[in-house]
Amino acid sequence: MKKKLAGVGIPMTDPNQPMRPPAKMPYKRIATEEAWVTPEVMQGFRDLVAKKAGDAGFLSMWGVFIEKGGILIDRLLDMGENRIMDMDATGIDTQLLLLTAPGVQVFSKGKAKSLAADSNDQLVEAIRRYPKRFAGLAAVAPQDPAAAAKELERGLKLGLKGAVINSHTMGEYLDKPKFWEIFEAAESLNTPIYIHPQTPSPDMVMPFVRRGLDTAIMGFGVEVALHSLGIIVSGALDRFPDLKIVIGHGGEGLPYWLYRIDYMQEYNRQAFMPKLKMLPSDYMKRNFYITTSGMPWAPAITMAQSVLGMDRVLYAMDYPYQYRVEEVIMTDNFPISVANKKKLFQKNAEKVFSL
């Protein structure tokens, strides 16, 4: 007998008009930024919140989730039948699973490394139980870049498909050369790094926190846009030309901004920054893939497809944070050809994540 979690089911716009799962289409629906958490990492989050020990962004985000989040946290923790039922209810064939933000990046180095390895072992076990329904990315602890590179390699050997890094690590970004061992490993292993948001780093989070804008409403997007552009202007992608980086939420605003970023990049370049071999938009088109997590909005996504190319945009739902059947239907209805929808929902994910 399947245990159904209280409250689990499709959130309905109108309770008198229950939404049905979207119709079958001539493509698989692979959702590429789906969140989960282990009991151990969740306990770590609870301990930090109880002790008020994390940074202001973390305490704001997880303070709210822990206070509000019965169903949300149940869904993050569930790696069994309830998650599968939720996927079936929204027509999702496969979830690519990412340890939820901020992952292990808020813990001390030793704890972060052991929690990353343990999370990856638990994820591999869940994928073994549902090999057609689940795939996943390895959690790594950038606090120790050499160990993170090794853990990525170990994760790939166990069948994981890349790494997830939840943006800044205690205020530091991957544009610092001390982290580039991770880039070197990902490039040589031909595997992507998904830069998932967390709340903005301590130097910029407070104006967001004071306005309640620090999480998914805007803070996440600003954080990952800064992180991604930081990597571009650091010159890292001239050093690692084959590195693959994935970002979510329609590309965190960057596709929209590319003209002005290109126009201003050389003009605004400070003496301490390297001269780039290409325009920022060239790196976006060569090294970046974006997903539609939380952004099933045709104007933004078709614009991103036109700027970056049809092969660079992948579907994601952002379960359980934006778990709505309407979002899948909105994406099914994008004004693009069925062949391009197959790229969006299936083919691009299969290629980027070697599924």
Q: Residue numbers of the site for Ca ion (CB under 5 A)?
A: 33, 318
Q: Which amino acid is at 166?
A: N
State the minimum distance, in angstroms, from the CB of residue 140 to Ca ion: 17
Q: Which candidate in 78, 86, 318, 332 is catalytic?
A: 318
State the minimum distance, in angstroms, from the CB of residue 199 to Ca ion: 13
**Residue with smaller CB distance to Ca ion, 97 or 261:** 97
**Residue with smaller CB distance to Ca ion, 33 or 327:** 33
138 contact partners, CB below 8 Å, separation of at least 6:
116, 120, 123, 151, 152, 154, 155, 156, 160, 162, 163, 164
State the minimum distance, in angstroms, from the CB of residue 138 to Ca ion: 16
From residue 128, give the alpha-carbon distance in Å to each of 35, 103, 119, 186, 197: 18, 22, 14, 24, 27
**Nearest alpha-carbon partner for 33 in 329, 255, 323:** 323
Paired tokens of 327: 């979002």
Q: Which residues pair with 164 in a beta bridge?
A: 139, 194
**Residue with smaller CB distance to Ca ion, 265 or 292:** 292
Write out the DSSP string of 239-253.
HSTT--EEE-GGGTT
**Residue with smaller CB distance to Ca ion, 33 or 175:** 33
Q: What angle do CA 183, 199, 186 make, to 5 degrees?
A: 10
**Residue with smaller CB distance to Ca ion, 164 or 307:** 164
State the minimum distance, in angstroms, from the CB of residue 198 to Ca ion: 10
At 256 the three-state DSSP class reads helix
**Residue with smaller CB distance to Ca ion, 98 or 236:** 98
State the minimum distance, in angstroms, from the CB of residue 314 to Ca ion: 13
Q: In angstroms, rounded to a whole number, what is the distance separating the alpha carbons of residues 173 and 258? A: 21
Q: Kindly report whether the peptide bond that precedes residue 18 is cis, defined as omega within 30 degrees of 0.
A: no
- CA 24, chain centre distance (Å): 26
Does 93 participate in catalysis according to the annotation?
no
From residue 118, give the alpha-carbon distance in Å to each of 8, 112, 226: 27, 10, 30
State the minimum distance, in angstroms, from the CB of residue 271 to Ca ion: 37
Q: Which residue is nearest to Ca ion (CB)?
A: 318
**Nearest alpha-carbon partner for 313 in 321, 324, 302, 322:** 302
**Residue with smaller CB distance to Ca ion, 101 or 185:** 101
64 contact partners, CB below 8 Å, separation of at least 6:
215
State the minimum distance, in angstroms, from the CB of residue 293 to Ca ion: 5
- CA 319, chain centre distance (Å): 11
- What residues are labeled active site? 318
